[in-house]
Structure 1
């Protein structure tokens, strides 16, 4: 009988497992160990400090982003000296986090959850199938007092323990990892800059990206529009970025949730975290930092529940997360709904990104994972420029025109 079984060993599950074993609980960490999540791999510099991530895990450091409009208009957004965007490769980042949890004391099982049953005493019986052994072997049956579902957007834990209609909205993300071009071979490519492409041909409701990963580069896009050809859009994006001749290392695709679920717990003994709970930022699709934070919050909530026997403690994870980040998730969701709806608005959005106030507030909010409060006048200026862009007038000599 384990105190807690954590299903899924990505950033959220690994953080939850590590936190719980460090606080003296027996933890089973289950991960198939044979899948790499499609991900641009961007994390703010703050993540390294908050979660003790060594800089050696970064495959690149980006000091700027280039925003590209449907017309080809480009806006460079320099970060300056306030931080950087770190790039990680999930093929090495996730195994590092699982190994760290295992070193702390978690019991790592390489396999997948195929069944979950709650008994009369509210203990949970898990049926597990190994992915690194005999595929014909009988499932392993283990027990746990609590379960944390950190098994991604298509969470098996959520499917087995929550009503069928309880799932967040999604876009589908697809990317190709290619070998980065040699210096001078692709003039529009920069190894220290992230390119973000807002173009309805690439994505009718989200965006495309070219993110450098050192010796490799992630090129992809996402969309919630059924039938949109993500592979074709990515291929066209490679050509436009001058990376068509770069060797493809791997292709990956998966759903990407864009809104936290209204409830993460089942009211008894199961709690969802990370992508399973929908904690991916709208508009940007950023999820690694939020997943790691969510994993720790869920671990603390489970610990409190185990200590007190009060299942209401499980709700604290979502409550604390939304208290800290709910407002920015709301703003990002509103921004996506307004500016991503067609190319006319995307064009205005990219033009607005040239504004110094927009750039500064964007980078400070991203790097600090909080809305910037110290300069209220900047927010007022951005609001009126935003409004002017919507109605099609020019404000203050710069900013978008209709």
Structure 2
């Protein structure tokens, strides 16, 4: 059997691409290793729930408050007005997406991708079958590489695909059925503290009867497990039963090129589409899968190689400005604890809170209140230049 598209990687990006293509009538295979769970806080905004039709039963918690914690322990609680942030557990959420793709018509294959070869019969995706351990191959017209931040598809098929910068994230899922210590099941805590992460942040995110506690860092010398243990202690969750532990890279910047100009296009973490500053990846991964599917379907219809470029063009058309702003914020405020302190102080401002969450919930920069943007810009400049002292509470 010859497939129209073989998708490598069954996370949110790959599963979304496979489902979209299958629903549009294409012959699709989805290769996934199975058993791999990415460390992730699990937050999904209302736009994701709406755009990708996520059912209520996939939400393990609904968050109504976000707490920012500074290096000196300052706490700023930001209410989520007129809505909530949904939380999912990647162990179950990713499998739900894979099953949905299969029900749409995609063929699921369990194994580990090894390489791509080509001959007169087409493009062949080689993999090691999980059950038998045998080397097998699928013949296809196109390949979507959605195999994570250190993508083997990107490394061998895309220019500079092996040069994507990333942080290493680590988290522990623990039992946490209700409020205890400094933890509350309706609130996400984001910790900006160099003792936890000198260049990123730590998190304590509720998952209903459990919680995700973790952090990330670009620096290899950082002890991820000790930092997470410190977070557990500070949150009052140190003695909770540990359910599982996971670590993985999180990309920091989208690649400049997502296709090989022939038969491969990237999606999700493989293309580097994780939001700077926040590290948010699920929504952008699923959007990345969708635009990769659009590019693949268009190429199959027109036969024009350049249509593979649609994936990056469509993604950047909608999200480039948000990524640029978030990247500038990360560069400005994550360099030192003094700046982290000022960033958390800036979050006291009501305009900052409202515009931040409007942008997060709807995934676009809000332009409705230009005076508020000017006000925030002035305050931001004042904090960065030290003209104002951090707010004391």
TM-score norm. by structure 2 comes to: 0.97
Q: What is the deviation of 1:164?
A: 5.5
- Indicate yes or no: 2:175 matched with 1:179: yes
Distance 1:68 1:342 in 2: 15
Counterparts of 1:37-76 in structure 2 under 5 Å?
37-76=38-77
Work out whether residues 159 and 260 of structure 2, in 8 Å CA contact, stay in contact via their aligned partners in 1.
no
Over residues 246-296 of structure 1, what are the superposed CA-to-partner deviations in whole Å (9 max), with x where a residue is unaligned? 111111000000111001000010000000000000000001011111111
Equivalent residues of 2:161, 2:255 under 8 A apart: no
**Which residue of structure 2 aligns with residue 338 of structure 1?**
332
Give the Å deviation of 1:159.
2.1
- The one-character-per-residue Cα deviations of 1:303-347 (angstroms, maximum 9, x if unpaired) are 111111111001111011111000110111111111010000000
1:217-265 Cα distance to aligned partner (Å, 9 max, x none): 0000000012111111110111011110011111100000011100100
Following the alignment from structure 1 to structure 2, what is the Cα–Cα distance between the partners of residues 338 and 134? Answer: 51
The corresponding residue for 2:384 is 390
CA offset at residue 120 of structure 1?
Answer: 4.6
SS of the equivalent of 1:80 reads coil
* Cα-to-partner distance string for 1:35-92 (whole Å, 9 max, x where unaligned): 11111100001211100110110000101100000000100000111x2111000000
> Quick one: which of 258, 267, 272 aligns to 2:261?
267
Say if 2:22 and 2:105, in contact at 8 Å, map to a contact too.
yes
RMSD over aligned CA atoms reads 1.3
| Structure 2 CA distance for aligned equivalents of residues 320 and 134 of structure 1 | 40
Per the alignment, residue 128 of structure 1 pairs with: 127
Q: Aligned pair 1:154/2:153, yes or no?
A: no
Contact 1:181 1:246 in 2 (8 A): no
- 8 A Cα contact 2:178 2:209, kept in partner: no
**Would you say the 8 A contact 2:127–2:135 is kept in 1?**
yes
Partner Cα distance (1:89, 1:282) in 2: 22
TM-score normalized by structure 1? 0.95
Matched residue SS, 1:365? helix
Q: In 2, Cα distance between the equivalents of 1:400 and 1:321?
A: 38
Unaligned runs of 5+ in 1: none
Measured in 1, the distance between the counterparts of 2:260 and 2:178 equals 51
* Alpha carbons of structure 1 residues 29 and 48: separation in structure 2 relative to 1, 3 Å: same
In structure 2, stretches of 5+ residues that fail to align are none
Aligned counterpart for 1:237 among listed residues 231, 237, 240: 231
SS of the residue corresponding to residue 153 of structure 1 reads: coil
Please name the residue that 1:9 is paired with. Answer: 10
Contact 2:68–2:75 (8 Å) recurs in 1 = yes
Deviation at 1:130, TM superposition (A): 1.6
Which of the numbers 299, 305, 308 marks the counterpart of 2:293?
299
5 Å-filtered alignment, 1:276-295, equals 276-295=270-289
- Give the distance between the partners of 2:306 and 2:160, measured in 1 at CA: 22
Give the count of matched residue pairs: 391
Per the TM alignment, residue 166 of structure 1 is displaced from its structure 2 partner at its CA by: 4.1
Q: What's the counterpart of residue 119 of structure 1?
A: 119
Compared with structure 1, are the counterparts of its residues 273 and 209 closer, same or farther at alpha carbon in structure 2 (3 Å cutoff)?
same
In structure 2, the residue matched to 1:215 is 209
